[in-house]
């Protein structure tokens, strides 16, 4: 997971409100993860510029793959899947940054 030192701190109650909205009516981890995939797919603004391995890339979708949420990106004509927790949103003041902080909060990681 990418350290979140450059990410702003969001109020825990704001993150919890997003978690509640994203996981409403879910009964277990699998349902919650699936719900997060749909929620982020609907709520994130794509394309989304993120930092991954020290480079800015554009992600164009989010999908549940192998029990994790992954961003889909095209770089140099090839498609890549990057774990959502392995990137930082380039614009740390954006709604996208707050949504991903809430997802990390739900996972139990640092916002």
For 88, the domain range is: 12-107
Express as a percent the part of the chain with pLDDT over 90.
78
For the chain, the domain total comes to 1
Q: By three-state DSSP, how is residue 57 classified?
A: strand
Residue 1 placed within a domain: no
In contact, 82 and 71? CB cutoff 8 Å:
yes
* Contact call for residues 19 and 106 (beta carbons, < 8 A): yes
Residue 3 in domain: no
Q: What is the pTM of this model?
A: 0.86
Residue 99's pLDDT band, with cuts at 50, 70 and 90, is: very high
CA distance 107 to 105: 5
φ/ψ of 3, rounded to 5, equals -60, 145
79 has which bridge partners?
74
């Amino acid at each position: 997971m990418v350290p979140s030192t450059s990410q702003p701190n969001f109020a825990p109650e704001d993150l919890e409100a997003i978690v509640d909205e994203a996981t409403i009516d879910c009964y277990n981890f699998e349902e919650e993860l699936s719900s997060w995939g749909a929620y982020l797919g609907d709520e994130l603004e794509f394309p989304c510029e993120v930092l991954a391995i020290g480079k800015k890339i554009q992600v164009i979708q989010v999908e549940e793959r192998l029990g994790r949420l992954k961003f889909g990106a095209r770089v140099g004509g090839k498609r890549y899947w990057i774990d959502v927790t392995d990137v930082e949103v380039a614009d740390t003041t954006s709604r996208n940054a707050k949504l991903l902080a809430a997802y990390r909060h739900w996972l139990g990681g640092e916002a």
